[in-house]
A and B are shown apart, each in its own frame.
Chain A
Amino acid sequence: NAGVTQTPKFQVLKTGQSMTLQCAQDMNHNSMYWYRQDPGMGLRLIYYSASEGTTDKGEVPNGYNVSRLNKREFSLRLESAAPSQTSVYFCASSDFEAFFGQGTRLTVV
């Protein structure tokens, strides 16, 4: 019973590099989310997808893109990483309550 699976768990990038964070859920949920967590700022919503085929911006979308590949998968892409994107990223899926992945600790140097 995997729930929400995020990969990778840790990543170090150089400024300007690109990468994609992967997220998959096996609970047949309609909604999926990407958050970043920074000390003292809680979880800030980057993008979300209320259903397969739709995506919407959250509070802090700049510098990120997303793809809702199918109902199970929702990926987050950093096209040109910046030090300000150093954070812990969480994916979540939900129909009524949200379930979270284990997080990705990303450092941009």
Chain B
Amino acid sequence: AQSVSQHNHHVILSEAASLELGCNYSYGGTVNLFWYVQYPGQHLQLLLKYFSGDPLVKGIKGFEAEFIKSKFSFNLRKPSVQWSDTAEYFCAVVGPASKLTFGTGTRLQVTL
């Protein structure tokens, strides 16, 4: 069964620090991969997506992610975080039959 693992549950960074959040998925076939962000009290919004092509994808607000097929990973990165990046981040995968599965999320807290 397809699944998504996010190993960092809670990350605290100072403003301007670099960010990398891990994401691994289990399904071995063709997948589409996503990172979503949820600001406090809001619904999920798309940060970036990977369907095919260049494994380094760029999203909104300076975020990027790299798809490494051999490692079943799709890690999220940002060179310099801002206080406004404080939110919860979810990795997700769409596998067969359009089933969209999310990881448990990583809560990012950015301090001034």
Interface hits, A1-45 → B, CB 8 Å: 30-31, 33, 35, 40-45
Instruction: List 10 contacting pairs A-B, 8 Å CB cutoff, sorted by A.
Output: A31-B98, A42-B103, A42-B104, A43-B44, A44-B102, A48-B99, A56-B99, A94-B94, A94-B98, A98-B34
B43 touches A103 (CB 8 A): yes
Chain A positions 38 through 74: 1 when the CB is less than 8 Å from some CB of chain B, otherwise 0: 0011111100101100001011000000000000000
Q: How far, in Å, is B41 (CB) from chain A's closest CB?
A: 9
B51 touches A40 (CB 8 A): no
Using A90-B43, A90-B44, A96-B32 as known contacts, say yes or no to A42 and B102 having CB atoms under 8 A apart. Answer: yes
CB closest residue in chain A, given B10: A40
Q: How far, in Å, is A65 (CB) from chain B's closest CB?
A: 18
Query: How many of chain A's residues touch chain B, expressed as a range?
Result: 20 to 34
B100 touches A42 (CB 8 A): no
B100 touches A48 (CB 8 A): yes
Using A31-B98, A40-B9, A43-B90 as known contacts, say yes or no to A98 and B46 having CB atoms under 8 A apart. Answer: yes
Other-chain residue from B36, B98, B103 in contact with A50 (beta carbon distance below 8 A): B98
A92 touches B51 (CB 8 A): no
Q: Which residues of B contact A (CB under 8 A)?
A: 6, 9, 32, 34, 36, 43-46, 49, 51, 90, 92, 94, 97-105
A35 CA / B43 CA spacing, docked (Å) = 12
A42 CA / B101 CA spacing, docked (Å) = 10
A94 CA / B101 CA spacing, docked (Å) = 13
Q: How far, in Å, is A67 (CB) from chain B's closest CB?
A: 18
Q: Which residues on the B side are within 8 Å of A30 (C-beta)?
A: 98
A13 CA / B99 CA spacing, docked (Å) = 30
A2 CA / B32 CA spacing, docked (Å) = 25
A33 CA / B99 CA spacing, docked (Å) = 9
B100 touches A45 (CB 8 A): yes
Interface centre among B6, B9, B34, B102 (most CB of A within 10 A): B102
